[in-house]
Structure 1
Amino acid sequence: MESLTATEIRKLYQTAFGLAVFTILYNIAEGVISTYLGFEDESLALFGFGTDSFIEVISGLGIAHMVVRIRNNPNSGRDGFERTALRITGVAFYLLVAGLVITSLYNIWTGHKPITTYWGVVISVISILVMWLLVAWKRKVGHRLDSAPILADANCTMVCVYMSVILLLSSGIYELFGIGFIDSLGTLGLSYFAFKEGKECFEKVNSEKYCCCD
């Protein structure tokens, strides 16, 4: 770890907290817009992507709390608030996975097609850019503080990039070629990452594990 003054450390933790708060606010906005447009356009992938964003808000509250905790006591362990946030987040992810998988299979069976996936393309491109910048910034702060929790948060944010890429691919392919089931396949791809996130939440509840989504 590089030698940092007390002022530099305080500013880095302020930055980490600011990034956590921005992530929460961004996910709220993304969730509202994506679920609305996904419902209107009958795009399950976009709707599921937006629902995932709401779950990330719960996770983000735990992350913001964690930053404050390690700022005040870098050697402290995960507390009750964080463990509760992890449990709620894990349950929410599993419920989301169940709903998306069942609906995806039903849509494939019935041949359901979205009205359009144009907004899925737009939102996914914006999300990739925003989340990639957040990952880079969080990693920079985490490396300077030599903080495993903050670096783990950056890795979790990277999962949002992967999910955005899946949404972009499924939405883009549908817009270009009109393949009906591709929206449902994209939804199943999102479900895979949501399941992994839920699983890791429960793995971390009863441990001091910070690594997230290899």
Structure 2
Amino acid sequence: MTQDVKLYKTAFALALFTIIYNVAEGIVSTYLGFEDESLALFGFGTDSFIEVISGLGIAHMVLRIQKNPESDRDRFERTALKITGTAFYILVVGLVVSSIYNIWTGHKPLTTLWGVIISSISILIMWTLVWWKRKVGRELDSAPILADANCTMVCVYMSIILLMSSGVYELFKIPYIDSLGTLGLAYFAFTEGKECFEKANSDKYCCCD
């Protein structure tokens, strides 16, 4: 087995792990977010489910470029990107409307402790994935894999927002901080949706730089 084949197998394994992790994170986060009435945690979990769709496209992409590194996006990847982008836009609307409603009504979560725990775990795992994907991408000199690593950084940013908003609320019980954190998540969801449609309509791979 050549070194390149081993690296592509690693890239595919990382893509599969990302999908599995996002499914688990989505289930846990949406459940606990609903139970604790934390909109930020619930929105974070919903975003994880959308990342699963994106992850399927990435896994397919790795298999494609392994066969032909010079090939362009195929129909499956472009469709996955459009579906992902649409889902992100729908999520943005839901998060913004819900945040405004919570601020208007003065709603506060019961607790945001789980937001602190889940976001801390997510930062550690996602940062490790970014490092590993960049390592594989550099060794293969693969722009698509490096672009995927850069896009995974958005998950780190969103986890940091959840950690900050959950941590501040849990410590100081500042009103509306959970809703403000949710608006921060909505911003990154919007940028992700925009980038999905841009990539679906071109063959460029750079993103989230």
Deviations along 1:17-40, one digit per CA (max 9) or x if unpaired, are 000000000000000000000000
Shift of residue 58, structure 1, vs aligned partner: 0.0
Residue of structure 1 equivalent to 2:54? 59
| 2:96 alignment counterpart | 101
Matching residue of 1:26 = 21
Counterpart in 2 of 1:127?
122
Give the whole-Å Cα distance in 2 for the aligned partners of 1:124 and 1:74: 35
Q: Which residue of structure 2 aligns with residue 36 of structure 1?
A: 31
Return the alpha-carbon distance in structure 2 between the equivalents of residues 141 and 42 of structure 1: 40
TM-score computed with the length of structure 2 as normaliser: 0.99
What is the CA–CA distance in structure 2 between the aligned matches of 1:35 and 1:163, rounded to whole Å? 15
Residue of 147, 165, 173 corresponding to 1:152: 147
Question: Pairwise mapping of residues 80-99 of structure 1 onto structure 2 (< 5 A)?
Answer: 80-99=75-94
- Structure 1 segments (4+ residues) deviating >2 Å: none
Q: How many residues align?
A: 209
Shift of 1:209: 1.4
* Preserved contact between residue 35 and residue 49 of structure 1 (Cα < 8 Å): yes
Could you tell me which of 186, 192, 198 is aligned with 1:197?
192
- Segments of 5+ residues of structure 2 without an aligned counterpart are none
Give the alignment's TM-score, normalised by structure 1: 0.97
1:15 is the counterpart of 2:10: yes
Q: Could you report, residue by residue, the CA deviation over 1:106-162 in whole angstroms, capped at 9, with x for unpaired residues?
A: 100110000000000000000000000000000000000000000000001110000
User: Deviations 1:52-111 (Å, cap 9, x if unpaired)?
Assistant: 000000000000000000000010000000000000000000000000000000100110
Partners of 1:44 and 1:212 in 2: how far apart?
A: 28
| Identity rate, percent | 79
Is 2:141 aligned against 1:118? Answer: no
Supply the RMSD in Å over aligned alpha carbons. 0.6
> Tell me, which stretches of 5 or more residues in structure 1 are unaligned?
1-5
